[in-house]
Structure 1
Amino acid sequence: MTADDSYGRLDDDNYPAYTMGRAAEMLGTTQGFLRAIGEARLITPLRSPGGHRRYSRYQLRIAARARELVDQGTPIEAACRIVILEDQLEEARRINAEHRRTAESPESPNPPGTA
């Protein structure tokens, strides 16, 4: 691996760059909280060659949202389910918007209203 390869990963939201301790510190929570949301299958951290949990920036954003809900009194299992559903909704909206753009583009073989 070259230095350029390593620096390129800094922009990758899915690169597991953060240890459990650092992730907990960044989120202002405990390592136990991260283990709990892992057990609830909200996020699945990757493992280092030594077996240590490693988190990506994307996973930290998901964990931060779950923490907000838990801090507001939502049980952790419910918070995890809410975050999963919010994430799925966001993805569905992104896909729908992409389909709309494709259907409305001049290159589209069948513009809206024609068949």
Structure 2
Amino acid sequence: MLAGEHGHLPRSEQAVYAISVAAELAGVGVQTLRLYEQHGLITPTRSVGGTRRYSGDDLARLARIVTLSGQGINLAGIGRILELEDTNTALRATNAALETTNAALRQSNTDAAERPGAQP
């Protein structure tokens, strides 16, 4: 059973952390988070009142940003790396979906060929 199933922990995509909490968890300052947002590296959800809210997914992205920054990569470079990683993740998901569809089609063709009276 997952912890989030009974509401003990928020889902990774659920934006619940205020900017001060997110900054503390990421090990950076609040102004640094705002800078990352200005550069388009992170886009927190906004509450109805306009307050920034960060999710577990945002915190994972922040950890990646902090790691890259610690390696001496500038913010423009970090932005490009994150863009490429996001594209790679999307392509992998698309590829997995296509492989699943392909396998289903092959099975369907195999099943059809095995039916009595099937034409080659």
1:47 maps onto 2:46 in alignment: yes
Instruction: Name the CA distance, whole Å, in 2 between partners of 1:17 and 1:39.
Output: 21
Once the two structures are TM-superposed, the CA of residue 94 in structure 1 deviates from its matched residue by 1.6
Q: Give the RMSD, CA atoms, in angstroms.
A: 2.3
Match of 1:29 in 2: 28
Which of structures 1 and 2 has the bigger CA Rg? 2
Alignment gaps of 5+ in structure 2: 1-5, 111-120
Structure with higher helix content: 2
Match of 2:10 in 1: 10
Question: In percent, how many aligned pairs have the same letter?
Answer: 33
Once the two structures are TM-superposed, the CA of residue 108 in structure 1 deviates from its matched residue by 5.6
Instruction: Name the CA distance, whole Å, in 2 between partners of 1:25 and 1:39.
Output: 19
Query: TM-score, normalised to structure 1's length?
Result: 0.78
Amino acid at match of 2:38: E
Structure 1 residues 32 and 108: CA distance shift in structure 2, 3 A: farther
User: How many residues are aligned here?
Assistant: 105
Q: Is the 8 A contact 1:37 1:80 kept in 2?
A: no
Instruction: Name the CA distance, whole Å, in 2 between partners of 1:33 and 1:78.
Output: 16
Query: TM-score, normalised to structure 2's length?
Result: 0.75
Alignment gaps of 5+ in structure 1: 1-5
